[in-house]
Structure 1
Amino acid sequence: MDKSKIILLILLSILALLCVGCIENSTISAKTTINAESVEDYDISTANNAFAFDMYSMIKNEDENVFFSPYSIFTAMAICYDGAEGSTKEQMSNVFYYPLSKPVLEGSSKEMIGIINSGSEYYSLETANALWVRNSYPLNEQFVSNSKTYYGGKVTNVDFRNEPEKSKDIINEWVASKTNDKIKDLISDDMIEPDSTVMIITNAVYFKGKWLNEFDVGNTQKEPFYNSSSNKEETLVDMMYTEEYFSYGESEDAKIIELPYKGNDLSMYIVLPNENNIADFESRFTHSEYGKLKSTLESSNDVRIWLPKFTFTTNSELVDPLKNMGIIDAFDRENADFSGIFDIQRVPPGYVLKIDEVVHQAFIDVNEEGTEATAATAIEATDDAPMPGQIMEFKADHPFMFFIEDQRTGCILFMGKVEDPEYEKMS
């Protein structure tokens, strides 16, 4: 029996350069979104954000930085979902909160991509999809059409069988061009298997922006940062400082602040636990709790903020996390059903196409001039907001979580945790 595989590559580059300006809390909304019968009924941002917290719970590591793009993963897998059937489709729907109606997801995805790629004079934000397909592979024409129409996924034929090295170089060049050369050589020498690789799907998200209120470089000083590990001494880091009017909120467990970017379409939300207990905090900080904390935000608070500069790269293999979340058949040699991707009439009986790898790379750089961000919807108001006129203090000198959101859609584009902010400027 012929066995073929898809390699799914999810790429991400998030920049702010000096040179340029858990599942339990998601299932209620999931039932509604999965059964949506129209684009108007489907809240793609809520689905994406619920998935974001589910994935975070799977990939977080104690004493390590975390950074990924739920939107990038959500969108890349949506292309595969377009060709999924049977239990494979059902499992992907349950994990990603995709609607059972594929046309609903297609239309919603097209709208989202259109907003993200709408352009701005204040920042750069772009997402791109591409499908790299083995020469003469019998793709389903409808799958090709949907990929182009709804996801902007250009299909390019490459010779995986006879020229794997050249194929690797072609894809890596595309990756570099879409991520400002921050992600190179993503395709390793042994990733392409000439006898079985038939398709590589790539998704890239790139953002570069400046803070609406930039930090004064002259105020940055070496100050201590206390990470979670009790057997480590305090670390001296480059700590930025400013006093400005920000949206600020707090609960019994944490503080939250919104740092908008120029253009006001994107913001970074920083969630700082009151105690240095990030492992305990993140284990119970769900999608619902995030919404509640955001509902305490009040604008125009005078806030003194200390925030470390940080930059790091993460590399993740997501097959095991996705399996643990409930996607089993898509990776299974016997049960995968992506019959909507290929032309059934042109493959031998018993032909199977499965996903083999899901690779995610991410890069972030936060400094005095910028980074990236965006806001989502508030859930409920509380009485924990500060009184007007107070000067609030937000000192991120211990591990914290952060979110970059698109204010126009309410979609969490990027999500992470800073455990070790030691800053090393990237070229």
Structure 2
Amino acid sequence: MNTKLVTLLVILITLTSFLPGCTKYKYTPPKADETGWSEEGVEELSRAINRFAINLYLNISEKENIFFSPYSIFSAFALLYEGARGDTARELERVFFFPNDQTVRRPNFARIYNLINNSSRYFDLHTANALWIQKNYPILQDYLQVIETYYGGEAFNVDFSGATEQTRKTINEWIKYQTNYTIKDFFPPNSIDPLTRLVLTNAIYFKGIWLKQFDENETTEDIFWIDNDTTVKIQMMKVYDFFNYTETDDLQIIELPYKGKRICMLVLLPKRNIEQIEDNLTINSLNSWVENLTEQRIEVYLPKINLSTEYSLKEILESMGLYSIFCPGEADFSGIDGTKNLFVDEAIHKAFIKIDEKGTEASAATGIIMPISLPTIFRANHPFIFLILDKETDIILFMGKIVNPAE
């Protein structure tokens, strides 16, 4: 058994959070304009997020614990996609499955965003988007309007050029607050430089109480099999109750609901090895497994978890076919500033999860750093060689070297 088992489908906390419901949080996020949304549109966008989630999981492919928020990453790159044009936009569509019809994408994203930010007495769930713009840098008003209207994105003018470190700390404070102080120092020192003109951020936070809680008195020290030869001692929780459950020849599947029943944790437990499950993990297989869940009385053992993860998304996304956004001169974000000067220098994702007898606390944040590409400079202010060519005959007509042009 591999340690990825525990966190494999904990990410489905996010994937199952698109159903109608409500949440509570002391901060009131801006409401997005969902005019024109439809059940079909929400389903299409939810399917895109979930397809991206599984593809990203399979491309991370680590022999260690994995935990991330596909919704957070998708949201941050949706902000980016709204300003992408040409081949850059098409690459983003292929990797993230963004609907290219804005009448489908925008109001239905707004609907999902609003549903996540609804208030509830049962659990806390909220998300937020923000743009951090170099003061006096000319961002197109149309772009700002789209982000504010459909993504609830707030725009802040900052000074990357003159107060780089202070600006980095300001963004980190925003992320820390939005994740209820679970993610601190998101951008490390020197990750943002004076050439940065725009930073896009998303944060998501969840805290839920188990509908059927584990008894703390039943928690004991136990063995967790990392593989056939390696074990570690862990704190194992126990509960015996009715849960939605099914199994196949290869795995057991259980649904652990949180109070309010809108959000659940879905756990896939291989009977042999986790790689076999990963090889068959698709949206269709997942839907098939979920459809076969039936309520049964189950004795459940689940380890306590306290996990923080961090990913540099650049190499992962490149392995998924996303290249041009990272290339100065090739990236086309003219929908943001009217030029092709912006590109993505780095994309960072951090996540946190704590699972205990009472419930689960999870958070994540995604940040995209966009500097401007400087023009290539050819400054002949030191000795150089030169030739005068006839390009029709390919003959060097004159040739020389300048050591002192003042002579």
User: Normalising TM by the smaller chain, what interval?
Assistant: 0.7 to 0.9
Distance verdict in 2 for CA 1:283–1:193, change over 3 Å: same
Give the letter aligned to residue 213 of structure 1. Answer: K
Give the letter aligned to residue 192 of structure 1. Answer: I
Distance verdict in 2 for CA 1:338–1:39, change over 3 Å: farther
Instruction: Say whether the 8 Å CA contact 1:247–1:298 is kept in structure 2.
Output: yes
Q: What is aligned with 1:189?
A: 189
Q: Given the alignment of the two structures, is residue 262 of structure 1 paired with residue 263 of structure 2, yes or no? A: no
- Structure of higher CA gyration radius: 2
Query: How much does 1:231 deviate?
Result: 4.8
- Between the aligned partners of 2:357 and 2:311, the Cα distance in structure 1 is 28
Local SS of the residue matching 1:303: strand
- Between the aligned partners of 2:39 and 2:218, the Cα distance in structure 1 is 48
Query: How much does 1:253 deviate?
Result: 0.8
Q: What is aligned with 2:114?
A: 114
Instruction: Say whether the 8 Å CA contact 1:52–1:70 is kept in structure 2.
Output: yes
Q: What is aligned with 1:341?
A: 336
Residue 344 of structure 2: which of 348, 355, 362 is its match?
Answer: 355
- Between the aligned partners of 2:57 and 2:172, the Cα distance in structure 1 is 27
Give the letter aligned to residue 49 of structure 2. Answer: N
The equivalences for 1:202-281 within 5 A come to 202-228=201-227, 230-232=228-230, 234-275=231-272, 277-281=273-277
The equivalences for 1:62-141 within 5 A come to 62=63, 64-141=64-141
Q: What is aligned with 2:400?
A: none
- Between the aligned partners of 1:69 and 1:354, the Cα distance in structure 2 is 23
Local SS of the residue matching 2:343: strand
Q: Relative to structure 2, which stretch is displaced further, 96-105 or 257-266?
A: 96-105
Structure 1 residue runs of 5 or longer lacking an equivalent are 1-11, 16-36, 374-403, 405-412, 415-427
Q: What is aligned with 1:60?
A: 61
Distance verdict in 2 for CA 1:210–1:355, change over 3 Å: same
Distance verdict in 2 for CA 1:372–1:169, change over 3 Å: closer
Give the letter aligned to residue 306 of structure 1. Answer: Y
- Between the aligned partners of 1:355 and 1:39, the Cα distance in structure 2 is 33
- Between the aligned partners of 1:223 and 1:112, the Cα distance in structure 2 is 40
Q: Any runs of at least 4 consecutive aligned residues in structure 1 with deviations exceeding 3 A, and if so which?
A: 37-42
Provide the alpha-carbon RMSD of the alignment.
2.2
Q: What is aligned with 2:8?
A: none
Q: What is aligned with 2:402?
A: none
- Between the aligned partners of 1:371 and 1:189, the Cα distance in structure 2 is 30
Local SS of the residue matching 1:181: coil
The TM-score, its normalising length taken from structure 1, stands at 0.74
Distance verdict in 2 for CA 1:313–1:303, change over 3 Å: same
- Between the aligned partners of 1:183 and 1:361, the Cα distance in structure 2 is 7
Which structure carries more relative contact order (alpha carbon 8 Å, separation 6+)? Answer: 1
Give the letter aligned to residue 279 of structure 1. Answer: E
Residue 289 of structure 2: which of 269, 287, 293 is its match?
Answer: 293
Query: How much does 1:372 deviate?
Result: 6.5
- Between the aligned partners of 2:69 and 2:220, the Cα distance in structure 1 is 30
Distance verdict in 2 for CA 1:98–1:206, change over 3 Å: same
Local SS of the residue matching 1:66: coil
Instruction: Say whether the 8 Å CA contact 1:39–1:105 is kept in structure 2.
Output: no
Query: How much does 1:109 deviate?
Result: 0.7
Give the letter aligned to residue 100 of structure 2. Answer: L
The equivalences for 1:150-161 within 5 A come to 150-161=150-161
Q: Relative to structure 2, which stretch is displaced further, 100-109 or 215-224?
A: 100-109
Query: How much does 1:180 deviate?
Result: 1.2
Give the letter aligned to residue 215 of structure 1. Answer: F
The TM-score, its normalising length taken from structure 2, stands at 0.78
The equivalences for 1:7-26 within 5 A come to none
The equivalences for 1:136-147 within 5 A come to 136-147=136-147
Give the letter aligned to residue 54 of structure 2. Answer: F
- Between the aligned partners of 2:268 and 2:144, the Cα distance in structure 1 is 41
Instruction: Say whether the 8 Å CA contact 1:266–1:372 is kept in structure 2.
Output: no
Structure 2 residue runs of 5 or longer lacking an equivalent are 1-10, 15-35, 366-407
